[in-house]
Amino acid sequence: MADGRAAFDKLVADRVLPACPPVTETEAKTGHLRVTYDGSYSSPFRPGRSSFRTFHHAAPFAVTRWTNLYFKVRRWGLAGDIVSGPVAPMFGPWVRDVAMPSPRWWLAHTCYWRRVKPPDAHLEELRLALGLRARWDIVSLLKRVPPYALVFRSPPDAPE
């Protein structure tokens, strides 16, 4: 991706590569840090100019979570995934690196989504990262906390 850390940092600063958290810029009017930009458009249904705000192209991790799953390399690169590894030191502290034991004794680069012999620890980590067990987590939470405690209620002295 880059020839050294300085070149990598320049690509991140120039928004060629994403970072987690995203690179911010200072808004000229308010001085606030932001990862968005304002665009304007005209519409035949609305006189004058209208505007919208959206994230810039290097800020995909402003609204998502980056979980990096990788198989640890062992046996001089013959076991695990030699293409993968931890990325948080380069891409930022909001990346969650998860090192997993390789499900095979040799090259495992294409095994992230494949069932192998139990235990499928790598698939369980993938389900966790994708939030595929969210229903189970909610049901488990409801067994411990009554549902009415999760409903937002305004204080009794709040104006209606």
On whether residue 151 sits in a domain, the answer given is no
The Cα 8–Cα 155 span in angstroms is: 51
Q: Model-level pTM?
A: 0.61
> Residue 35 is part of which domain span?
5-60
On whether residue 51 sits in a domain, the answer given is yes
On whether residue 149 sits in a domain, the answer given is no
The Cα 28–Cα 154 span in angstroms is: 38
| Total of domains in the chain | 2
The answer on 136 and 74 residing in a single domain is yes
Residues of the chain short of pLDDT 70, as ranges, are 75-80, 82, 103-120, 133, 146-160
Mean model confidence pLDDT for the chain:
77
The Cα 55–Cα 92 span in angstroms is: 18
Residue 47: the pLDDT is 74
The answer on 40 and 70 residing in a single domain is no
On whether residue 34 sits in a domain, the answer given is yes
Residues 107, 111, 112, 116: is their CA dihedral positive or negative? Answer: negative
Residue 88: the pLDDT is 92
Give the three-state DSSP class for 15: coil
pLDDT single digits (tens) 92-117: 899 999 888 776 666 666 666 666 66
Q: Which residues pair with 68 in a beta bridge?
A: 97
On whether residue 91 sits in a domain, the answer given is yes
The Cα 72–Cα 86 span in angstroms is: 9
